[in-house]
Chains A and B, each alone.
Chain A
Amino acid sequence: MIRAPETGRPRSPAALFGRHRERLPAEPEDYRGPTYYGQPALKPSPWTWEVATYMFLAGLGGSAQILATAADLLGGPGARSVVRHGRYLAVASSVLGAPLLISDLKTPGRWYNMLRIFRPTSPMSIGSYILTTFGGASALAAAGQVLADRAGGRDHSMLARVAQIPAALAGAGMSTYTAALLSATSTPLWAAEPRLLAARFACSAMATGAAALSLAEQSDGGPANSRTLDQVALAATAAELAISVASDRRQRERGVGRPLRQGGWGAAHMLGAIGLGAGLPLACYGLNLVRRRRSRALSVAASLAVLAGGMIMRHAVLHAGQRSAELPGEYFRLTRSAGR
């Protein structure tokens, strides 16, 4: 029986001749059983920064569409600018996101094969149709918005009002399906806690959507709207922080997710996703709640921090997950029956 340290020797030729892999220090819950010379027992996904960036944009745009639709249906006349910004943000996110996904394909010329079949067991297949629906409906809603803008803002275009409903429903899918995409794999970090990961992605989506819209309001003269949106972002960020604490605890208990706690991506996650993405904005929003006069600077700083944190979180989860696939102990801890 071989009890080798987790050296995680790189396998593929690219990895062999390429980057140096850092060794992660051991933890008390680490796997102590046999491995095959410490060799990886799984292959990491071949996805690059494009996929992480898309996951950020999908969440941001999807939630922005939800907020725009809610503002249109329930908000007062002052919320019209939220509706307009939300519709434009939603269509911009799909216009930017789809090419990112296509450029991550290793045979991008065949991107249209994504719509060749529908496979309900594959979140990537589900997501292809969510993105298609979202992109199409958001484009119609944005077109309706353009017509309304041309008419001087008084006219409510029927086109946008009808198209925003399917767009917002697909936006809910856009905000969360990327977590299912990660969890429906064998990669230990992503597969360990599917429910918590999805809840975290949903919170981050809503927080980034609200933060982006708040920034738009700040630059377009709607401080009252910005205040409401900051409250949404505050709620979503607080929920995200609570979920990330819970998910960190569960991962430690199950002996997975070491690359999200240690090394370069661990630091990025702790400082970028938690500190910058949750700690700083919560402090800023909190200060703005207790101050007699809301500070525009605090609102802008918090929004920017939420956006940066959401982006760093997607990249950290993607890359730390890929690293966890290369550590046999992470996988074997998860796949060993109880009592062994």
Chain B
Amino acid sequence: MTAVHPRALEYVDSELDGVIPDESELTAGTRIEPGKSYGFFTDTTLCIGCKACEVACKEWNALPADDMRLTGMSYDNTGGLGANTWRHVAFIEQISRNGERATEMTPFQSNWLMMSDVCKHCGNAPCLEACPTGAIFRTEFDTVVVQQDICNGCGYCVPACPFSVVEVSLIDGKAHKCTLCYDRMKGGLEPACAKACPTDSIQFGELSDLQERAERRVDQLHGQGAASAYLYGAPGGPGATGGLERLHAFFLLTDEPEVYNLPEAPSRPANRVAPSLASGLATIAGLGLAAAALLAFAGRDER
């Protein structure tokens, strides 16, 4: 952990009058270049529930506060992702498992699960595929962003999303979600949440690097006896099912996906367009032919 990136030595005095070029090389060990795929690997076994990611996200993106009350259901007073909340830390206090009491359960992280949820920037993004205006597009960093100057607030991306991420704000009438800090990435900066994360539970980087790192982490945890560790959203695994292919923001989990409010096997809504249209048009064709026959029959009587 004491290793210092060689480029950090170029900036020993912190008196800077500008942005450090390619700063993400220092903070995340990756240079941000257009044409490559980037994403987040969120390792929930490292999350301590500090919500620095939530705060950093709100601060950088200047997102308004939403409902400021206590939820009354858990330590989670954020509730979920939405138009004004692009990182959400879920808190799961495991007080029993299959009838076992907490004192009888295998001790693992004090039986607390914490997970910083975020937009998954899906490989085949349902929000993007649903967007009729082209407001949602795929960036040069292979991430998914809503263009605020195009969106007309039709709201189709909202039910399309399999992960309850994107939402139309009633403040401005546009859809909003995580941009994977598109503006920061353009400037060579690591996304705000990953940079703020004090335990490196949120790791930013090139997707292929992250996937390798995540596989190693799963092996390491298995070796340490945490047999329940698995990846959610890695290609071929849970979360990346039904044509979604891969999630650019993927997770290391230690319990069933539904415990974290994630679907085990979500599917790509666009897969349902062709079957629906084919069935509907076939039905209307059948009824249309029947109607034509009845009209022709009635017409013949007249003549």
B90, CB-defined interface residue at 8 Å = yes
| A207 CB to nearest B CB, Å | 9
A56, CB-defined interface residue at 8 Å = no
| A163 CB to nearest B CB, Å | 18
A186 & B126 in contact (Cβ 8 Å cutoff): yes
Q: Chain B: which residue is nearest A114 at the CB level?
A: B132
**Interface set, chain B 234-276, CB cutoff 8 A to A:** 255-256, 258-267, 269-270, 272-273, 275-276
Q: 0/1 per residue, B263-303, Cβ < 8 Å to A? A: 11111011011011111111111011011101111111111
Say yes or no: A46-B168 contact (C-beta < 8 A), given A34-B258, A198-B276.
Answer: yes
A67, CB-defined interface residue at 8 Å = yes
Contact residue among A73, A114, A202 (Cβ-Cβ distance under 8 Å from B133): A114
- Distance A199 CA – B303 CA, assembled complex (angstroms): 35
- Distance A308 CA – B275 CA, assembled complex (angstroms): 28
Which residues of chain B have C-beta atoms less than 8 A from A40's C-beta? 80, 164
Q: 0/1 per residue, A64-105, Cβ < 8 Å to B? A: 001100110111111100100000000000000000000011
A280, CB-defined interface residue at 8 Å = no
- Distance A36 CA – B275 CA, assembled complex (angstroms): 32
A20, CB-defined interface residue at 8 Å = no
B12, CB-defined interface residue at 8 Å = no
**Interface set, chain A 189-221, CB cutoff 8 A to B:** 190-191, 194-199, 201-203, 205-206, 210
A21, CB-defined interface residue at 8 Å = no
A228 & B295 in contact (Cβ 8 Å cutoff): yes
Which residues of chain B have C-beta atoms less than 8 A from A33's C-beta? 256, 258
| B10 CB to nearest A CB, Å | 45
A198 & B283 in contact (Cβ 8 Å cutoff): yes
B280 & A228 in contact (Cβ 8 Å cutoff): no
Q: Chain A: which residue is nearest B285 at the CB level?
A: A172
B133 & A116 in contact (Cβ 8 Å cutoff): yes
A175, CB-defined interface residue at 8 Å = yes
Contact residue among B172, B263, B296 (Cβ-Cβ distance under 8 Å from A41): B263
Say yes or no: A176-B156 contact (C-beta < 8 A), given A35-B258, A43-B167, A195-B275.
Answer: no
B90 & A210 in contact (Cβ 8 Å cutoff): no
- Distance A37 CA – B290 CA, assembled complex (angstroms): 52
Q: How many residues of B contact A (CB 8 A)?
A: 86
Residue from A11, A108, A126, A179 having most chain B Cβ neighbours under 10 A:
A11
**Interface set, chain A 149-193, CB cutoff 8 A to B:** 172-173, 175-177, 179-181, 183-187, 190-191
- Distance A204 CA – B129 CA, assembled complex (angstroms): 28
Which residues of chain A have C-beta atoms less than 8 A from B231's C-beta? none
B280 & A78 in contact (Cβ 8 Å cutoff): no
Contact residue among A195, A236, A331 (Cβ-Cβ distance under 8 Å from B263): A331
Query: Which bracket fits the contact residues of A?
Result: 35 or more
Q: 0/1 per residue, B151-174, Cβ < 8 Å to A? A: 111111011111010111010111
Which residues of chain A have C-beta atoms less than 8 A from B74's C-beta? 37
Contact residue among B261, B276, B303 (Cβ-Cβ distance under 8 Å from A35): B261
A34 & B259 in contact (Cβ 8 Å cutoff): yes
B270 & A184 in contact (Cβ 8 Å cutoff): yes
Which residues of chain B have C-beta atoms less than 8 A from A228's C-beta? 294-295, 297-298
Q: Chain B: which residue is nearest A232 at the CB level?
A: B291
| A58 CB to nearest B CB, Å | 12
Which of B's residues lie within 8 Å of A, judged by CB? Answer: 66-67, 69, 71, 73-74, 76, 79-80, 82, 90, 92, 94, 96-98, 126, 129-135, 150-156, 158-162, 164, 166-168, 170, 172-174, 255-256, 258-267, 269-270, 272-273, 275-285, 287-288, 290-292, 294-303
Closest 7 CB pairs of A and B: A176-B280, A106-B153, A76-B299, A198-B280, A36-B261, A106-B173, A110-B152
Q: A36-B259, A199-B283 are in contact. List 12 more A-B contacts (CB 8 A).
A: A9-B71, A12-B167, A34-B258, A77-B299, A105-B173, A106-B155, A116-B150, A122-B132, A176-B284, A183-B269, A185-B130, A232-B287
